Structure 1
């Protein structure tokens, strides 16, 4: 089993935070991928957020009414199997690095990935 830090996901383009309306998990709970682990209110709607892994919830850092920013750790899950990749909090727009890579010879820049 591997420790998986579940980070608050980006719930829509340009949305950087959300209020947790209802947490559906607590330490010790068994979760499977696609179980709804929380309901989040953003600027536009209430969204049900699924769990991306199978495992056992170790810690929960959020409670009903908390406001979380994209990338903040919401829970730690002792996960089974392969862990999905998670993006960290958004940084500079994705288009920023590409022109400089293309200027240095696009094919060589792409080979680094």
Structure 2
């Protein structure tokens, strides 16, 4: 994680682990946090509540993002918003990378 970024290629940060999802904290500021989550097909992050809002931006792959009772089938360039306090989860059908822009916490 860095406090200040001028520029970097996010593709260079994408990595996968067959044993568990990979999460990289890219940036943490007083206004937002940026995280990169990389999952192999079948590595689900089960729906769970979180106290902060997040904007998911799908970079690569296909899967389903759950927010509350809604399920969204997503592919690259899809954007999903999960409000503060909502239940959210990720279920990739293929290898998948997602950029999350989070409310600071």
| TM-score of the superposed pair, with normalisation by structure 2 | 0.28
Bigger radius of gyration among the two: 1
Q: Which has the higher strand share?
A: 2
TM normalised by structure 1 equals 0.27
